[in-house]
Chains A and B, each alone.
Chain A
Amino acid sequence: MKRRNLLLPIALACLLLTTAGLSTKATAATFDEKDKVPGFNFWITSQTYDPVRYEIGLMVAKKWEKLGFDIEITALEWATMSSKGMKGHEHDVFMIQWGGKPERVDPMHWLYTLHHSNESRSGGYNVAGYQNAAYDRIVEGFVKSVNLDERQKNAFKAQEILSRDVPQPPLIHRIITHAYNSRDFTNPTYAMGEGLNSFWNWLSITPKGERKSAKFGYVTDIKLLNPLSTKTGADIYMLRMIYDSLIRMDAEGKPVPWAAESYKYLDETTIRVVLKEGMTFHDGKAVTVEDVKYTFDLILSVKSPYYASKVKKLKSVAITGKNELTFTLSEPYAPFISNGFGTVCILPKHIWQKKYETAGKDGILKWDNSKPVGSGPFKFEYWRPNEEMKLTRFASHFRPPKIEEFIRIPYAKAYGVVQGLQAGEIDAAGWSLLPLERQTLSSFKHLTINTIDDQGYYMLHYNMRKKPFNDVRVRRALTYAIPKKMIVELIFSGQAVPAYSTVAAVNKFWHNPGVEKIGDDFKKAKDILKQAGFRWDDKGKLFYPQNYSVQTITK
């Protein structure tokens, strides 16, 4: 890798560079400079943002350099990388971590959103710019079908293609490692993809002694309590405690009825929902089908940023009985249950309608909803931004929590969370401990550390719009050269597993175990390039084959 070296005698450096330049020219007889495989810029996050990603980046780059590529490493702040890469698609290659939220158990996100060609335009989430018509057809089938077996078959096929074409290979699943105060609390729930940072944990965790209030530490604070205009996952986690949704994803990621007593497909585009009886909002008013209908209508009419993509296939909601609603979709769309029913917070009509009348469409999106009233198992108490937020138990809920109070404390930095756990300032944290942190915390007797596999992963995003990533053989070689096992060993001290398929192995129903396991084979990486006719000069730099023609995807 090309690390900018600091030489005090700059003249000397210049001299070296010139001689280096001269000597490449000398060998140019057989290796034409224009045939050289272009070097690229590898964006990694700064250590401040994620030390793990920084370390992985260095290790990967080293292998790639050995393979003959010229690599420049640039460490960027998250905001810069996100805007230039995720949004602008200006990157060569970068790495991000995709979280394993339970609504991603249905692999819509992994298979469709990240890889369908529709999403490859600027701002879309097909960051690699992967274009494969055959693949598009398969995932369209996957999204539209409501037949589970057929969907599974398509999902398997899609994973197989992706692992061959490697537009953006998954690298590593962390093993989520969360600590909690087992001296004062018992019965925590480690949920898939979330660990202790899960709704189910907040319901199940039980105080052992007198202290009934549980304090949870986080890195970032929540930002906004208006479900219509929130932008971050942290907000949504809190909102789901205050508000109920028709269904919830359980700790394994399966949809279970929640505010809905039951739901049923009448046909491919019509769903009937029966609402649970006897629910009330925190202000004492009853939750009715009117509220549910109003919520979905409001979301559609104000084009809520957060919900828009989730309900885009929803055509209308009708009240068809005392406790019964009928949802009509514009076309068959399987993820509607988990994404639509599973995420939309049921809003009290009597509050939001009044606000809407005074503030209007724009105003209701800008509203900070600083005292949210919902029907969920927790009542909102107060929030002091960047200090703490408090929720209390809503005793008349049908599944009341065991703790009396829930206090959320943002620490701004991960080390703050770890210090908080040590000092007993907090009882649990949603921060997955790094090896060193785990080692430090394990000496504290009041803490218990447990783990659960993650379906989210660190993923490399190549940019297929650019050379040399437009060639599948290059991508395969690069991916084979990644030392996944070594990364697990050195950086995570074994607290992680290599990732091969776009859908995680823990996601048993959807994961295709038969996909090609790319990685950890440097020799194979070299062979792939050799077979395709790539050449190396005497300094080990990589050159395109003579009479090169690009091969975008595997045939």
Chain B
Amino acid sequence: MNAVSEFFSVIRKDKVGMIGMILFSFFLIIALAAPYIAPFDPVEMQFNELGKLERLTPPNSTYLFGTTSMGRDIFSQVVMGSRVAILVGVISAVCVVFIGTNIGLIAGYYGGKVDNAIMRIVDIIYGIPFLPFALILVAVMGPGIINIIIAIVLITWRNTARIIRSQVLSIKQRMFVEAARISGASNFRIMYKYIAPNVMPLSLVYVALSMGYGIMTEASLSFLGYGDPTLPSWGKILFECYSSQAMFIAWWWMIPPGLAILLLVLSGFLVGRSYEEIANPRLKER
């Protein structure tokens, strides 16, 4: 994977990108080691020595971020929640970019009717209000992490497809593609051997950017009460805090999960932006 190693070498040279990368690695490590880091089971109610429930205990040395109204350890919830965030973010980003890149390649390369049909579909999806639609999809398919990822992917591949397509359109005109065609290479070969490597850097930018989008969507759905009911996610922690009215008395319940979302989304944004600026300075903020 040439593009990937190039990606890292570019990021390493940029300070902003580096900060993003460090942030992301930080969350990745937490997610991988979550069961070892989290001191308690996030759904287990905690009791003190006298057998009383630790209801809304402010942060202390045992409960680093305090406890919820049902006596659950918020630190453990936030730590375990990083798994959901990373999983949703990474899987949805990879799927989105995989689908988007391929569709963009096909549309851009073949042009004509194929392009027209695909771009029409992209147009339609652009007309769909994102969050309400995701809500309905989750209501149809039932709440669950997989369904949430599917809902995210189904709608967000459009952005990548559109950008990749326009990139392919310009690469198609270049000499080496023409040369390959004359030498009798198949369409498939031209698309994936000659064009794809040239759009890869851009795809990687979109992996980083889509990750933030996916994480934010999962958090939003959970906040509206349509998240996976069995998993501790950051959005769900915020939902519980908000709907139980605890936010007025328990700031420690509200601040950490929101901050975690912020930082993880930021990491994707920083990496994406810095790579975008270096790899393709002509591309402006869209």
> Do A and B share a complex?
yes
Q: Could you tell me if A51 and B31 are in contact, using CB atoms closer than 8 angstroms?
A: no
**Residue numbers in A under 8 Å from B246 (CB-CB):** 436
How many residues from B make CB contacts under 8 Å with A?
A: 35
List the B side residues contacting A491 at CB < 8 Å: 70
Question: Is the CB–CB distance between A46 and B243 below 8 Å?
Answer: no
B 220-242 binary contact with A (CB < 8 Å = 1; else 0)? 00001110111100001001101
Please report the C-alpha to C-alpha distance between residue A55 and residue B45 in the assembled complex, in whole angstroms: 11
CB-CB nearest in chain A for B146: A4
- CB closest residue in chain B, given A418: B245
**Contacting residues, chain B, for A4 (C-beta < 8 A):** 145, 228, 230-231
Q: With a 10 A CB-CB cut-off, give which of B45, B83, B230 has the most chain A CB atoms.
A: B230
Question: Given A75-B230, A490-B45, is A6 in contact with B83 using a C-beta cutoff of 8 Å?
Answer: yes
- Of all chain A residues, the one with the shortest Cβ separation from B71 is A490
Q: In the complex, which of the residues B83, B230, B231, B245 contacts A415, with contact meaning CB atoms closer than 8 Å?
A: B245
Contact yes or no, B69 A440, CB < 8 A: no
- The listed residue (A49, A74, A75, A440) touching B245 by CB distance below 8 A is A440
CB distance from A250 to the nearest CB of B (A): 34
Q: Within 8 Å of chain A (Cβ to Cβ): is B32?
A: yes
List residues of chain A with CB within 8 A of the CB of B31. Answer: 8
CA distance A491 to B86 in the complex (A): 32
Cross-chain contact A8 with B143 (CB below 8 angstroms): no
Give the residue name and chain of the A residue nearest to B231 (CB): A6
| Interface residue SS majority, chain B | loop
Q: A384 — which chain B residues lie within 8 A by C-beta?
A: none
Determine the chain B residues whose CB is within 8 A of the CB of A75 once the complex forms.
Answer: 143, 229-230
Does B1 touch A at the CB level, under 8 Å? no
Closest Cβ neighbor of B43 among chain A residues: A58
Q: What separation, in Å, do the CA atoms of A77 and B31 have in the docked complex? A: 29
Which residue of A is nearest B84, CB measured? A6
Residues of A within 8 A of B228 (CB): 4
Measured CB to CB, the nearest residue on chain A to B244 is A436
A43 to chain B, nearest CB (A): 11
**B99, CB-defined interface residue at 8 Å:** no
- Name the A residues within 8 Å of B142 (CB-CB): 80
Interface residues of B in 234-268 (CB under 8 A from A): 236, 239-240, 242-246, 248-249
Asked if residues A436 and B53 are in contact (CB atoms below 8 Å), the reply is no
- Tell which of A46, A55, A418 touches B229, judged by Cβ atoms closer than 8 Å: A46
Please give, as numbers and ranges, the residues of chain B lying within 8 Å of A8 by CB-CB distance.
31-32, 83, 86-87
Question: Please, which residues of chain B bring their CB within 8 A of the CB of A73?
Answer: 230
Asked whether, in the complex, the Cβ of B249 is within 8 Å of the Cβ of A413, the reply is: no
A155 contacts chain B at the CB level, 8 A cutoff: no
26 contacts between A and B (CB under 8 A): A6-B83, A6-B84, A6-B87, A8-B31, A8-B32, A8-B86, A8-B87, A46-B229, A47-B229, A47-B239, A48-B239, A49-B225, A51-B240, A51-B243, A51-B244, A73-B230, A74-B229, A77-B143, A80-B142, A415-B244, A419-B245, A434-B244, A436-B55, A437-B245, A440-B249, A490-B53
Q: Which residues of A come within 8 Å of B, CB atoms?
A: 3-4, 6, 8, 46-49, 51, 54-55, 58, 73-75, 77, 80, 413-415, 418-419, 434-437, 439-440, 490-491
Q: Which residues of B contact A (CB under 8 A)?
A: 31-32, 43, 45, 53, 55-56, 69-71, 83-84, 86-87, 139, 142-143, 145, 224-226, 228-231, 236, 239-240, 242-246, 248-249
